[in-house]
């Protein structure tokens, strides 16, 4: 939300810097601040309506279409999951079911949903903390040390970030069993550390680079070693970056399927949410209500986390991908 407030915080630039359509509709009141200062709500609505251009209307239409396209499937699935057994969608269409039934959810919970949620939570918490524990020091080193091969090593890290983990699933079974990690949560967590560290290092290094080195020098003079400097001086300014990396890895770890399926797929008591739901839908073939209910439970935790923290996602997406050397 505040991603937008940031922008709205500079209304003068918005109004005068780029008055879109300034040439086409001359004389239009462009300064929104003066409009909002109007006396009554009705007046304000009236001025706003009067100010609408054709392009505004087109953009509004696009907003509505986009919201419908992106949100509707989720709503439809949620709605489907709440219908009583056997009830089809009635004509005329109603998104809110006339009669709500939780029987589909009961079915999913009986199939082991609690255990899937537990496993996913465990893997996500330990996975994300391990990823941070490994990538924060590495990012610090890439930002604060000058050593031969630094650029080359950074290039290797970037390369690993670009290569899809899907590629390693064929040898993964052999690799994990030779390491004694097959069918263990620890194995999956360590695998996630290996897979997601490059992106995390890359993003965190960017944050470290923005902190002036004078802070390090000052801490050094005060007698701090590097670890103390990191802990007591740098950790606070780099905290937003750590938050972004944590959120990102939470989403990726919670959602990940193919690696988890390969490592844990044959051990049903270790199934994570993605594996559990995939197997569940294999069993319940055409029971769409049950599949819908399973989907809702699987995405709900992420949706809640996301709605609270979405502006950090935006940061992470842009900064993780658009960083030159």
Partner 1 sequence: MSTADTAAERLLERASDVIRRLLDHPLLWLAPALLALAVFQLYPMAEAILMSLTNESLIRPSFEFVGLEQYVRLASDPQFWEMIRITAIYAFFSVVLHVLLGLVLALAIDYGVRRGLRGHLTTRVSVLLAWIVPGIIIGLVWKVMLVESQFGAVNHFLGVLGIGPVPFRSDPTLALISTIIAGTWRGTAFTMIMIYGGLQRVPQRLYEAARVDGAGRWDRFRHVTLPQLKPVLFITTVLVTIYALNTFDLIFALTGGGPGRATQVLALFMYQEAFQDYALGRGAAIAVVMLVANLLLTGVYLYAFDVGDEI
- Helix (DSSP H) and strand (DSSP E) numbers for the chain: 16, 0
Interface of this chain with partner 1, residues 177 to 236, rule: CB under 8 A: 179, 190-191, 193-195, 197-198, 201, 225-227
Dist. CA 189–CA 180, nearest whole Å: 14
Dist. CA 45–CA 75, nearest whole Å: 30
Structure tokens at 302: 């992420």
Interface of this chain with partner 1, residues 263 to 292, rule: CB under 8 A: 273-274, 277-278, 281, 288, 291-292
Rounded least distance, CB 55 to partner 1, Å: 7
Rounded least distance, CB 204 to partner 1, Å: 11
Rounded least distance, CB 240 to partner 1, Å: 17
Rounded least distance, CB 189 to partner 1, Å: 11
Q: Smaller CB distance to partner 1: residue 60 or 118?
A: 60
Rounded least distance, CB 40 to partner 1, Å: 18
Interface of this chain with partner 1, residues 91 to 150, rule: CB under 8 A: 91-93, 133-135, 137-138, 140-142, 145, 147, 150
With contacts defined by CB under 8 A, how many residues of the chain interact with partner 1?
109
Structure tokens at 253: 């770890």
Interface of this chain with partner 1, residues 305 to 324, rule: CB under 8 A: 306-307, 310, 313-314, 317-318, 321-322, 324
Of 240, 210, 208, 253, the C-alpha closest to 312 is 240
Structure tokens at 275: 């594996």
Dist. CA 311–CA 291, nearest whole Å: 30
Rounded least distance, CB 161 to partner 1, Å: 9
Residue 76 within binding range of partner 1, rule CB under 8 A: yes
Which one of the spans 39-47, 97-105, 167-175, 237-245 is the region binding partner 1 (CB under 8 A)? 167-175
Q: Binding partner 1 by CB under 8 A: which of 39, 164, 212, 269?
A: 164
Dist. CA 220–CA 227, nearest whole Å: 11
Establish whether the linkage from the previous residue to 278 is cis, with ω within 30° of 0: no
Give the helix, strand, coil percentages of the chain, each rounded to 5.
75, 0, 25
């Amino acid at each position: 939300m505040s991603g937008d407030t940031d922008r709205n915080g500079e209304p003068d630039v918005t109004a005068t810097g780029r008055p879109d359509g300034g040439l086409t509709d001359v004389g239009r009141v462009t300064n929104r601040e003066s409009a909002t200062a109007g006396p009554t709500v009705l007046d304000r609505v009236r001025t706003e309506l009067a100010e609408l251009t054709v392009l505004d209307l087109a953009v509004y239409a696009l907003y509505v279409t986009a919201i419908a396209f992106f949100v509707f499937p989720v709503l439809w699935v949620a709605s489907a999951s709440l219908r009583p057994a056997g009830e089809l969608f009635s004509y005329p269409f109603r998104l809110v079911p006339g009669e709500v039934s939780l029987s589909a959810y009961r079915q999913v919970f009986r199939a082991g949903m609690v255990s899937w949620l537990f496993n996913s939570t465990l893997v996500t918490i330990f996975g994300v903390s391990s990823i941070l524990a490994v990538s924060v020091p590495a990012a610090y080193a890439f930002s604060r040390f000058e050593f031969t091969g630094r650029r080359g090593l950074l290039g290797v890290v970037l390369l690993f970030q670009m290569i899809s983990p899907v590629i390693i699933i064929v040898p993964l079974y052999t690799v994990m069993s030779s390491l004694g990690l097959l069918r263990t949560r620890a194995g999956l967590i360590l695998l996630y550390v290996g897979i997601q560290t490059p992106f995390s290092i890359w993003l965190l290094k960017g944050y470290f680079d923005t902190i002036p080195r004078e802070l390090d020098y000052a801490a050094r003079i005060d007698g701090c070693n590097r670890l103390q400097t990191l802990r007591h001086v740098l950790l606070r300014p780099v905290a937003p970056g750590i938050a972004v990396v944590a959120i990102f890895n939470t989403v990726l770890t919670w959602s990940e399927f193919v690696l988890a399926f390969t490592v844990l797929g044959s051990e049903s008591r270790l199934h994570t949410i993605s594996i559990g739901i995939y197997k569940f839908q294999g069993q319940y073939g055409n029971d769409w209500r049950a599949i819908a209910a399973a989907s809702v439970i699987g995405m709900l935790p992420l949706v809640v986390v996301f709605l609270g923290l979405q502006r950090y996602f935006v940061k992470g997406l842009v900064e993780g991908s658009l960083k030159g050397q």
